[in-house]
Amino acid sequence: MKKFEVTDADIGSRLDKIVVAQLGGLGRAGVKKLFEQGRVRVLRAGHTRPQKASKGETASQGDVIEVDFEEAASGGTVPDADAPLSIVLERDDLVVIDKPAGQPSAPIDPGERGTVANAVLARYPETKAIGFSAREPGLVHRLDTDTSGLLLVARTLLAFETLSRALKEGRIDKRYHLLCKGGDLPESGTIEIPLAPHPKDRRRVYACVHPRDVARYSPRPAITHYVRRLACGDLWLVEARAAKASRHQIRAHFAAIGHPLAGDALYGGPEVDGLTRHALHAASIVWGGDASVPAFHAISPLPDDIRRIVES
């Protein structure tokens, strides 16, 4: 069971959006199922018993939200041949998937369908015994539900161990395309700001810019390199590289330097017509190869929602 109090920043927000933010990579689809199954309850201020919550309800001061979450987290993935699966590269040892925005990387609820992991298991049953957990068959890494782009999946244990270790050591080149707030962003640069869990809002990570924050929160190192590519009205199209990208790293880094991602309401990004999510796309993955896993290079073009903004 997960419990969390409504913060001042959450007052007036929809309950489903708060739960999505609190549960990290669960995503909107997974949270929707929790609401549908009655596994989200809210204890309103002044009441003694929690009530079943509706996703459209809004939060008030003093509310406590309860989510029956642990039971869901313990379940494994079920195959789902109907789940979307766009394959960019397929080999005997690995596959690279092009994930659309809105599709979760992996399920959270027993029996949940529609995620990348469900589709992978249906097409590549050998991945069942590979991965960080039973919910992530073969997945070498994950993407936020609203981040589109490339996901790397191993089909053999050797490939999984090799690539997951290489990713942890920063030896796999992963590049992203993003739209961020325009203005005085330098043509290229490196953002080296350590990140920690936000002390007041678990939906976000906290960029520890000031030395006192580094001492107080013991953040993890985080480095993002970027190159400005194109001016798009009031926005910049940027290519970013984060070898060891952690949760929300690119989003938090660009917000910390005053250029939050378009559509990223959580980090103060500007609203853009036609964009219903943060404008972040995992555009390429390059592995130089070694004796265990041969080299590969996979790319994904800009998705339609970001491409239309760039072209306009």
CATH class as words, domain 76-169: alpha beta
Does domain 2-73 fall into CATH 1.10.10.10?
Answer: no
3-state secondary structure of 80: coil
Hunting for tokens 């406590």 — which residue is that?
A: 64
Assigned token pair, 166: 């290489």
Round to whole Å and give the CA distance between 122 and 153.
Answer: 13
Check residue 69 and give its pLDDT: 62
Find the catalytic residue in 10, 63, 144, 264. Answer: 144
Round to whole Å and give the CA distance between 85 and 104.
Answer: 12
Number of H helices, E strands in the chain: 8, 15
Q: Is 27 left (phi over 0), alpha (psi -120 to 50) or beta?
A: left
Q: Do domains 76-169 and 175-281 have the same CATH topology?
A: yes
For 212, residues 6+ apart whose C-beta sits below 8 A from its C-beta are: none
Check residue 135 and give its pLDDT: 87
Asked whether the beta carbons of 172 and 243 are under 8 A apart, the reply is yes
CATH fold of 175-281 reads Pseudouridine synthase (3.30.2350)
3-state secondary structure of 106: coil
- Alpha-carbon Rg for the chain, nearest whole angstrom, is 20
Residue ranges per structural domain of the chain:
2-73, 76-169, 175-281
The pTM for the full model equals 0.75
Round to whole Å and give the CA distance between 1 and 201.
Answer: 19
Would residue 80 show up in a list of annotated catalytic residues for this protein? no
Digits of tens for pLDDT over the chain (312 positions)? 778 888 888 888 889 888 888 875 566 777 887 888 788 999 988 788 888 888 889 999 889 998 876 544 445 788 999 999 999 999 999 999 999 999 999 987 777 889 999 999 999 999 998 998 888 999 999 999 999 999 999 999 999 999 999 998 999 999 999 999 999 999 999 999 999 989 888 888 999 999 999 999 889 999 999 999 999 999 999 999 998 778 899 999 999 999 999 999 999 999 999 899 999 999 999 999 999 999 999 999 999 999 999 998
Asked whether the beta carbons of 13 and 58 are under 8 A apart, the reply is yes
Check residue 161 and give its pLDDT: 96
